[in-house]
Amino acid sequence: MKIFIDGKYYDKETARISVFDHGLLYGDGVFEGIRVYQGKVFRLEDHIARLYDSARAIALEIPMGPGEMQSAVLETVKINEKKDGYIRLVVTRGEGSLGLDPSSCPKPSVIIIVGDIQLYPAEFYKNGIRIITASTRRIPPECLDSRIKSLNYLNNILAKVEAHRAGALEAVMLNTNGLVAECTADNIFVVRAGRLLTPHPSHGALGGITMRTVLELARQKGIECAESTLTRYDLYTAAECFITGSGAEVMPVIEIDDRTIGDGKPGPVTLGLIDDFRKLTTS
């Protein structure tokens, strides 16, 4: 494995960042998780655009332009000879002092890791998964905008801990008003009255690349879609439910908080979108 760090490549065993990097000390930085399918990087331009938007939102000046960043990602994929895999693209504030002040960091660091993707078992997509609602609430947008994909994921991690302790794969996170925001690492969708609904970003949902792709695929099939206001009631009483993300792709959910969703099996809309997404990524 060859890892890109600030314009140079290092073996996994020798790849290092400073212990004074503010990405390590304070979670000060942004990142993207990107998939590689059959040697092609999935929606790279969209991921790069979101990375730069996140950086701009936290006043982080990335030391290379978007075009140069795209080329660096593609070159790193090529050097690692990955046909199917996962890219972790990270920009940290860089090395600085032990204080919070970001002005002590003269130059941000860019890290590109291309590795294998840990796929979920095939039976999950066939039979669906159970998830829970976490007691950990999403940080409200007036404190930290959910559209910023930052390195500080402690809020999500605490909700993930709850999921693991409950024996569930994922956890739904509510905002401080009790509305559905997203899962710990995935967006969530429900099918209600023939409509495909997902939480609006203003409620704490990250604008996921896979989420946007699924909305596009659904609209192509003539399915009415909306970013909406959802409560736990809307989840519990949905005809279908699924989650989306770079790792999960499109994953059916058949139980939430011990409530069976629909008939307890992945529904036709979900299965159709799983098929459409796989065709898109393998064509």
One-letter identity of residue 35: R
Measured in whole angstroms, how far is the alpha carbon of residue 206 from the centre of its chain? 8
By DSSP bridging, strand 2-5 and strand 109-115 are antiparallel
Q: Is 63 exposed, middle or buried (0-12, 13-18, 19+ CB in 10 A)?
A: middle
Listing DSSP states for 60-124 in one string gives: ---SS-HHHHHHHHHHHHHHTT-SSEEEEEEEE--B--SSS-GGG--S-EEEEEEE---PPPHHH
Q: Among candidates 258, 255, 251, which has minimal Cα distance to 273?
A: 251
Supply the DSSP symbol for 137: P
221 given a catalytic annotation: no
Q: Among candidates 153, 188, 159, which has minimal Cα distance to 171?
A: 159
By DSSP bridging, strand 170-174 and strand 249-256 are unpaired
- Scored b (16 or more CB within 10 A) or e, 231-269 reads ebebbbebbbbbbbbbbbbbbbbbbbeeeebbeebbbeb
Which residue is catalytic, options 40, 83, 149, 160?
A: 149
Query: What is the sign, positive or negative, of the torsion defined by CA atoms of 160, 162, 165, 170?
Result: negative
Catalytic residues: 149
